[in-house]
Amino acid sequence: MPDLLLQSGEAFNSWYESLSNGYAIFFLFVCLGGCFVVLTKGAGLLVDGAAGLASGLGVPKIIIGITVVSLGTTLPEVSASVMASADGLGGVAAGNAVGSIICNAGLVFGLCCALVRLPVSRFTLNRNAWFQIGGASLLVLLFLLSGSLPGDQKERLFYRGFGIVLLVGLLGYTIMSVRWARQSAVDNSRDANNGQHTTRNIAKPVLLTVIGFVLVLAAAKGLLVVVTELALKLGVPNDVVAVTLLALGTSIPELATGVMSVIKGHKELLVGNVIGANILNIFFVIGASATVSPLVVPYRFFWLHLPVMLVILGLFHLNIWTSRDYLRRWLGLAMLIVYLGYIVGVYLL
């Protein structure tokens, strides 16, 4: 009888734990849905505010996308990488930034470009595109110049001085962006008003933009926590969660803003946001992280992450430089395929 009672007790405990886990997973799915609702609403407000801000200031929407929107949507990458660097997790800090570049270009831009026709803005793309590809090339060069750790053949040290170099590049990019924005605003005003500049009240667009940023960032943070916990409960390996979900989670603001920009007819915001976010990931995220603490990064950056980043950015710029009025959809699809292949490859490796 005692054995029977013991077996019954064990069976009850097993049933109770499975029921509890079932409710926990159900609760996580409910939270997941709630995060997506808040994310969608916040992205909608952010896009409306950014479009109104562009109209009020008299500058093209792509300029607002490259500056204001990209800075706001890059905040999750900055906070995650800087905190990881401060904790001595250099690989996580650098991986988050490089992974976000790959995700922004491959998933966000590649998906939207494959689905809809995105317009080409020569004035902005021809200038900022060079900063993007130049920054990526500089980043690869600095990684190649990084030092070997004594007695360790599997990791390299990305020096603090390299981070300062990238932050100086960020300062130069900011100065040039302000100059280009002013020039674009003057040209836009002349074309629209025959030389008579008019201004509009931008208080409401600014308020919508701020509220949108707050909702998007809060929902993205909640979504990252929920998805990570859900993946762990469903048995997804920790290393796969770290490599894929962190970069994807911190890129959710770009993805949500990009999709909502397309839905609301402000496609220029999508292109500008992706370019601006990638430039900031290179100069701001990695620069600030390395300045806080030198980054210890594994060798697989050199044969996996960085080559994939260059391939995707190469396809991105090939699309820009070979397109006329609209970007080529098949090149967007190619970028999306490379991204999906990269995620599968990371999982298999």
* Residue 195, Ramachandran bin (φ over 0: left; ψ between -120 and 50: alpha; else beta): left
Express each pLDDT in 188-236 by its tens digit.
Answer: 555 555 544 455 677 788 888 788 878 877 776 776 677 667 666 666 5
Q: Where are the domains of the chain?
A: 23-194+206-348
What is the dotted CATH code of the domain comprising 23-194+206-348?
1.20.1420.30
From residue 310, how far is each of 83, 182, 280 by CA, in Å? Answer: 26, 31, 16
Nearest C-alpha neighbor of 76 from the set 171, 218, 209: 218
> Are residues 264 and 59 in contact, defined by beta-carbon separation less than 8 angstroms?
no
Cα(86)–Cα(93) distance, integer angstroms:
9
In this prediction, residue 15 carries a pLDDT of 45
**pLDDT tens-digit readout, 136-169:** 999 999 999 988 776 656 788 899 999 999 999 9
pLDDT at residue 11, as a whole number:
55
Could you tell me which residues are beta bridge partners of residue 155?
Answer: 298
**pLDDT the model gives residue 119:** 85
For range 19-26, the mean pLDDT: 59
Q: What is the pLDDT of residue 124?
A: 65
CB 312 within 8 A of CB 335: yes
Record the tokens describing residue 272, joined without a space: 């500008």
263-32-216 Cα angle (round to 5): 50
